[in-house]
Structure 1
Amino acid sequence: MGYNYRFAIRAFFLLLSLTTFLNPSAATTRRLTALVKQQPLVLKYHKGPLLGGNVTVNLVWYGKFSPKQRSILVDFLQSLSSVHSRSPQPTVASWWRTIAGYTGKPCTVAVGNQVLLESYTLGKTLTIDKLPVLAARGSKRGGNTAAVNVVLTDADVSVEGFCMSRCGKHGASRRGSAYAWVGNPGKQCAGQCAWPFHQPIYGPQTPPLVSPNGDVGVDGMVINLATVLAGTVTNPFNNGYFQGTAGAGLEAVSACTGIFGKGAYPGYPGEVVLDQTTGASYNAVGVRGRKYLLPAMWDPKTSTCKTLV
């Protein structure tokens, strides 16, 4: 139950490969007009409940994440609802505000419980049915049942379908609570689940962007966490906003896979900001000046993929 990356990833890399085959110079000329006729992108609302208002995110760290890696991801979540009124650049919070167009009211995010499972209690190879089991560890007995429990697996953990058909997943447990999972692709499939910080598996082999926090796997996790969290809020029980088949359709961010800035096309993430000191690419600033590269989000007000820059 819940969205996974199967169709979004395959469609992205299929178009990437098709582009290269039909027009080998497309990576440098940026001429992708009419190679594939685009269907109207409309995420239909299926009348189900959404997770608007105040959302608590509980984190289950499965494996050996370093303190720095944990801080990158926690700072991202805390940045979703932080106020940056004086920031001269787009912020993580301004990216998240598009969610209000779905829920009809502001949606704030707070980090709740954090559980460290560094001993791989269920092993280093997990089946999909183990994810809600791990997610349940994020809720304290008698805690907030409306919270989203997010499982984060480290680079040494293999999850069923990871890299092959998904970079993350969200769904609902038998008790009706929402959960999500994102894996660290640094060792297993950076070219698929950490693009554009690594050369893609298929298509034009253009130089990758420099990751803003110096960790390709974790900066890739930020992109995928942003994707599944937006999907969890706007389509928590497979009857919210999506296009296509319930449980495998395109959602708020997965509908815009591969788009990070204006002028994006398969193999080119679009125009983003370059840090003149580090050479890293980003498009949003978070708490403590932390920089992130966030994917475009489908805007229900304009029916387009909205980018920050």
Structure 2
Amino acid sequence: MSLAALHCLLFSSLILPFALLVCCVSASASPPAAGVALSPSLFRLSKSVEVSPYVDMRYHNGPVLTPQIRVYLIWYGNWRVSQQAIIKDFLHSIASPAPSPSVRSWWSTVQLYTDQTGSHISDSLVIAGERNDLYSHGKALTRMTTQQVIKSSLKAYNGSLPVDARGGVYMVLTSEDVVQQDFCSAACGFHYFTYSSIVGYTLPYAWVGNSGKQCPDTCAYPFQVPFYMQQFIQPLKAPNGDVGVDGMISVIGHELAEMSSNPLINAWFAGSDPEAPTEIADLCEGMYGPGAGGGYAGVLPLDKRGASYNVNGIRGRRFLVQWLWDPVKKRCYGPNANV
């Protein structure tokens, strides 16, 4: 693998799961002839990439979420109860026992990260509040209007959610008919902190959108794949039967892991630019099982319906969530790594 391809795989920013495939192929090899089926092994990363001395994941002295993590959900748009249940069961699974490999054991990688006192990220997470918002700011949002959505949800502004600046994180989840700035073209989700000039408080928050109708082949990958990849890779069956929401689960996990380890963009990330940090989930985008990389999700178990998953949750739920950067092993890792 060329140095250019290695750099591409390690430092491409989050967002398009299949971008690693495009980047890797363009940097290291000529495209395959039309009609030639590729073995999954051709998409796998080498061991030298899986365990990399080149990744400089560094602590920048900022806070991480060491107290109990309290998640405040803002359901923006039109959500079905069944869709909300999938997402809430995933979040509840982070702090709840389940058969191995579990969501809880997946979160244990996040807990390896500490603050300057040596305190670890919390293993306790609760949904502390919810609010339904039926398009208060229309069906097209920007990053700034997303902060306005959070502001209008707070009790201080006649909303229903408390201001929780110590351990609280706010997640704006948009339904499949809501357009977000850069959604599908450059982002499936993002996290940052609110500006006091807009919201009145500095609060960690994330946005994740349901891509089911807009771009499932981008943001719900590998449950849908782009048309130009379909001769090489078949889409996986979604474990909860909802391509858009099942695709959101991995993005929610991604953003939650990074909010916990880098809530104010001054804690854990690789590189020296906090405006474009490479965080603990960015490095492992698109990796779900052993042998993953370059568009191949990895070796995954199947349930009785033939759906792919890599972690178990509460109430018999199963989910597919991406691996995270392990600061001890210095590689991407998940609880199903030895399956």
Q: TM-score, normalised by structure 2?
A: 0.82
Deviation at 1:18, TM superposition (A): 2.2
Q: Note if 1:145 corresponds to 2:165.
A: yes
C-alpha RMSD of the superposition: 2.4
In the TM superposition, what is the alpha-carbon distance from 1:252 to its structure 2 partner? Answer: 1.3
Query: 244-253 or 262-271, which moves further after superposition?
Result: 244-253
What corresponds to 2:180 in structure 1? 159
Structure 2, gaps ≥5 residues long: 1-10, 157-161, 196-200
Q: 1:200 deviation in Å?
A: 3.3
Q: Kindly tell me: are residues 6 and 302 of structure 1, through their superposed partners in 2, closer, same or farther at Cα, counting changes over 3 Å?
A: closer
Give the Cα–Cα distance (whole angstroms) in 2 for the partners of residues 100 and 34 of structure 1.
Answer: 26
* Residue 106 (structure 2) pairs with residue 95 (structure 1): yes
CA distance in 1 between partners of 2:313 and 2:172 (Å): 22
Does residue 205 of structure 2 align to residue 179 of structure 1? yes
Partner of 1:272: 300
Superposed displacement of residue 31, structure 1: 3.3
**Bigger Cα displacement from structure 2, 105-114 vs 133-142:** 133-142
1:136/1:149 contact within 8 Å kept: no
Shift in Å at residue 43 of structure 1? 1.4
Whether the 8 Å CA contact 1:30–1:265 is kept in 2: the answer is no
For 1:111, what is the secondary structure of its paired residue? strand
Answer whether contact 1:191 1:199 (CA < 8 A) is retained: yes
Q: Which residue of 1 aligns with 2:214?
A: 188
What is the rounded CA distance, in whole Å, between the counterparts of 2:131 and 2:322 in structure 1?
27
Match of 1:217 in 2: 244
- In the other structure, the counterpart of 2:139 is 124
Correspondence list, 1:64-75, <5 A: 64-75=78-89
User: Per-residue displacement from partner, 1:187-217 (whole Å, max 9, x unpaired)?
Assistant: 1111111101001365564110000000000
Partner SS state of residue 274, structure 1:
coil
Distance 1:301 1:21, change over 3 A: closer
Count of aligned pairs: 299
Contact 1:20–1:203 (Cα < 8 Å) also in 2: no
Asked whether 1:12 is paired with 2:20, we answer: yes
Deviations 1:24-57 (A, max 9, x none): 268315135899x957223111111111220100
Aligned-pair CA distance for 1:128: 1.2
Q: Distance in 2 between matches of 1:20 and 1:187?
A: 33
Secondary structure of the structure 2 residue equivalent to 1:187:
coil
Give the number of the structure whose alpha-carbon radius of gyration is greater.
Answer: 2
Residue identity matched to 1:270: G
Say which of 121, 125, 130 aligns to 1:114.
130
Could you give the per-residue CA deviations for residues 222-272 of structure 1, whole angstroms, max 9, x where no partner exists? 010001111111111111111133132221112101100000121210011
Question: In structure 2, how many angstroms separate the alpha carbons of the residues matched to 1:284 and 1:34?
Answer: 22
* 1:49 aligned residue: 63
- Assess if the C-alpha contact under 8 Å between 2:136 and 2:149 holds in 1: no
Shift in alpha-carbon separation, 1:20–1:82, aligned structure 2, 3 A: same
Q: Counterpart in 1 of 2:233?
A: 206
Summarize the Cα distance change of 1:201–1:13 in structure 2 as closer, same or farther, 3 Å threshold. farther
Partner of 2:198: none
Question: How many Å separate the matches in 2 of 1:94 and 1:139?
Answer: 33
**What residue number does 2:279 align with?**
251
Q: Match of 2:6?
A: none
Q: Kindly provide the amino acid, as one letter, of the partner of residue 175 in structure 2.
A: D
The question of whether the paired residues in 1 share the 8 Å contact of 2:45 and 2:291 is answered with no
| Structure 1 gap ranges (5+) | none
Aligned-partner Cα distance in 1 for 2:173–2:250: 13
Per the alignment, residue 262 of structure 1 pairs with 290
